[in-house]
A and B are shown apart, each in its own frame.
Chain A
Amino acid sequence: MFVCLLIYGVVMAKTKIKEPKIQITWKEVRRQKVLLIWSAAIVLYGVIFCYLPLAGWAMAFENFRPKDGIFHSPFVGMAKFQQLFSDATFIRVIRNTLAMGVINLAVTFIMAIVFAILLNEITSKGAKKTVQTISYLPHFLSWIIVTGILHDALSGTGIINEMLMRFGMIQQPVDFFAHPGYFWPIVAFANVWKETGWNAIIYLAAITAIDPSLYEAAAIDGAGRWARIKYVTLPGIRATIMILLLMSVGNVLNAGFEIQYLLGNGLVQGVSQTIDIYVLKWGISQGDYALGTAAGIFKSLVSIILIVIANQIAKRNGEERLF
């Protein structure tokens, strides 16, 4: 949450730099009254929902007891962090979160771009609109529904097993949720299915902004479809790709909560639990709010570090960047 405000801030700052310098006068302020009110609302939102809750971080350094509150719980320094990192489960949970985060990022990111470009190549407007609408509808389904569908489809008597058996590819139904090895691919698949269409909208918007005369010129020079995608479309949306990639990198540790929580079971808990589930389990269920907060802080810090690193790399290579 903190990260998202940070990004928002730098994006705003960045776009501001590009504008010509304006002297701030009362007249100017009056003229931009509406804009100022709108941005004030957003700043206020950020302060209330992103910065004020940070005061709760104090809990991580206390042996927090709800009865005593933040001000009267005993201070324990870094003890909760030590406890956290000496717990083998937490280390495993970090691994799971990172792994699923990276896999999800890679597949949803690439699929969205590929899908947007493919969609752009469709010439019939009606077909294009229809496909686009259908493809982004799953975004509006909640995870509980998506996981319900997955659970049914992948069960022993579900459609996938039925089909595989009908085609003679397997003899016995495969119990997909009983094998730890299948869990990450299933999660990645669900993410792709749910979000590809939605994520592609941004790229489609960026593609629309490419000057059509570029395509004409390329066509005259003898560029086929493939060459036009490669030399016009991709470079045209490169800035968008970079910005979105940078933002997603900061989000890697938000690998998810609902899907893993809802699809997981005892057999696959070694690969299914993410940091968020750990926080729920030890922070909320076991009542160790301090430990949960410590895990949350760790997650935020790693996210910030990741985004700074990614930004530096982009900067070195002269790419579009956040700050």
Chain B
Amino acid sequence: MKRKKLLSLLLTAAMTVSMMAGCGSAGTASGTSESGSSAGTAAGSTSGASAKGEVKNFTAFFATPGTEINDDNEIQSLIAQKTGVKVKETWLTGQTAQEAVGTLIAGGEYPDFIDGGDGTQQLYQAGALVALDDYIDKYPNIKNYFTAEEWDKLRQDDGHIYWIPEFSNINGEEKTCTHNDEAFWIQTRVLKWANYPKIKTMDQYFDLLEKYNAANPTMEDGTKNIPYTILCDDWRYFCLENAPQFLDGYPNDGSVIVNADDPKNPKIVDYNTTATAKKYFQKLNEEYKKGIVDSESFTQTYDEYIAKLSTGRVLGMIDQWWDFAYNVNDALKQAGLDKQGCDYVPLPITIDESVQNRWHCSGGAFNNGAGLSITTSCKDVDGALQFINDLLDQDNHNLRFWGVEGKDYEVDKDGMFYRTPEERTNCSDTAYKASHLCTYSYFPQYNGTSKDGKNAMKPDGQASEFYDGLQQDVKDTFDAYGVKTYVEMIGTCEAPGPWYPMWSFSGSLTTATPGGTAWTKMGECKHQYLPKVVMADNFEDGWNEYMKAYNACNPQDFLSESQTELEKRVADAAKYSN
């Protein structure tokens, strides 16, 4: 009896210990977290490249969600044959950029290439990146990729350059057809039903959604429509919070409004506390109570949101094109929902008709806060840079974005590229993309005009190809408004000034400064209170409560650091204008 008791006690102890040991490892003070393993696999497998004419293998991690391609991808192999380099790319899964980067830093091992996104500044401060200035001159394509002014903008406080922004470069004439940015989107069926009205203000927009939903509460198959949904998952809650800047007619500076009424002395303005912000959230509050705003808005995950949009039920939402279109458009196409008019087009909405909208800025946004870097774990920095250089050659660039001639695109007698309908279907097919196409999408690239002087660098910039490839419902809508592209649909403007965009600054803030701490806290506060404000029974009470919590985060610290940065950028630019 006694022995049995002892035995059971021992068994108890042993089991508990084994259980606790299992869960104990997650909560260590040393700061490694299990969730980092996806990122961690990117590191370590560097082969260091043997110089015997074999293909060198590199690894890359991009702190942004993306899709991995197959290991035997055809174009990747073609590029490997031409350049002698193959890069295994991994992407962010289930974490924020900063979490992934923080985990890499704690581990101390990095992939060869990295784009740290919001975590770039941490990587720099951890000494994980290789200074590129000594190398750049050796690689003509890289050197010519930016002007001296732009290169200087990339210098960090130690005077060195550590990363190459990938997306802002426009060669020759800008050929942009897609509005790759934020907008209020609406399904073409809503516009068609109302006979393509001119929608210019927030009130008109919601009014149209309400009327359409009253007249057509369901889709053709009986599924209930959701008039308006808001994505609010983690860092993607910008879909809720940053509309006030656009509504007031300012471009996407991201974290603040820059008031340049006096061009010599631009001033930072906080868009969270403007009268427009209050009007906007009051409108959302009203629409929420009416049942127009989806009640699951603030609890849905990104995947649920994408799934919802893919069913075609959602009439309208505010989002960045890149955040939904690449997933949703293909899904709608494959389900044949374009025939019901479920594709989205952007509307040039502001708070008042007198306000000029600036949703779309031409010229690309030069983001000096993040880009492609090479890490200290990379054993062959020259090989890595040579590869970046090679990827910018026009031939390789065509291979990346157009594909293989005769298989992915055709050339007509004038030398213009175009695609057959079959080729177009292929390039929106997930399986084909994984096995055949390889854009190396987070490596430096060009937009605008090809070096041959006629074609566009990328298919979606090729006006004729772009228009022919549109879904019928989008074409009809464009025809009705007398436009040819998304950009014409929403209108365009010049980039506002040398400081643009300010988000490249706020994205690189860390909690090392009071402004950075305030910025993080403001984000937390808005993330918690803005949904409350929208759902509040009494809007005024909800808004006052929010303002109280918001002011407790010391937003002034952040705003004054932004003002300093703004002045610095204006002064830096002045040096080059003479």
Contact = CB atoms under 8 A, between A and B. Distances in A.
Interface stretch (B29-37, B191-199, B318-326, B479-487): B29-37
Contacts of A15: 6, 9-10, 13
B528 A49 contact: no
A296 B299 contact: no
Contacts of A53: 28-30
B511 A288 contact: yes
B11 interface: yes
Interface residue tally on A, bucketed by range: 35 or more
B531 A66 contact: no
B340 interface: no
Given A57-B29, A178-B535, A287-B122, A269 B528 contact: yes
Contacts of B8: 205-206, 208-209, 240
14 contacts: A11-B17, A66-B126, A67-B125, A89-B524, A201-B15, A209-B5, A243-B9, A251-B20, A265-B298, A267-B299, A269-B527, A282-B511, A284-B33, A284-B102
Interface string B119-131: 1001001111000
A246 B20 CA distance: 13
B128 to A, nearest CB: 8
A246 to B, nearest CB: 10
A193 interface: no
Interface string B20-55: 110111111111010000000000000000000000
A57 B119 CA distance: 24
A267 B532 contact: yes
A162 B472 CA distance: 38
Interface string A1-27: 100100110010001001000000000
Ordered nearest first, which 8 A-B pairs have the shortest CB separation? Answer: A296-B29, A284-B102, A285-B98, A266-B527, A67-B127, A66-B126, A177-B299, A1-B24
B356 interface: no
Contacts of B105: 66, 287
A158 to B, nearest CB: 10
Nearest to A1: B24
Most A Cβ at <10 Å: residue of B13, B98, B108: B13
Contacts, number: 166
A41 to B, nearest CB: 13
B83 interface: no
A156 B17 CA distance: 40
Per DSSP, chain B at the interface is helix
B210 interface: no
A297 B31 CA distance: 12
B12 A243 contact: yes
A206 B16 CA distance: 14
Contacts of B512: 287-288
Nearest to A247: B16
Given A8-B17, A285-B102, 4 more contacts: A57-B29, A66-B105, A202-B11, A287-B105
Contacts of B11: 202, 205
B470 interface: no
Interface of B: 1, 4-13, 15-17, 20-21, 23-31, 33, 96, 98-99, 102-103, 105-106, 108, 119, 122, 125-128, 232-233, 237, 295-296, 298-299, 301, 304, 510-512, 520-521, 524, 527-528, 530-532, 535
A285 B106 CA distance: 11
Given A4-B24, A285-B96, A270 B528 contact: yes
B99 A284 contact: yes
B510 A286 contact: yes
A73 to B, nearest CB: 12
Interface in A46-70: 49, 53-54, 56-57, 60, 65-67
A239 B11 CA distance: 13
Interface in A163-218: 172-173, 175, 177-178, 201-202, 205-206, 208-209, 211
A283 interface: yes
A75 B144 CA distance: 45
Nearest to B105: A66
A269 B524 contact: yes
B24 A265 contact: no
A178 B295 CA distance: 9
A304 interface: no
A103 interface: no
B22 to A, nearest CB: 10
Given A8-B17, A244-B16, A284 B295 contact: no
Nearest to A56: B30
A202 B7 CA distance: 12
B250 to A, nearest CB: 25
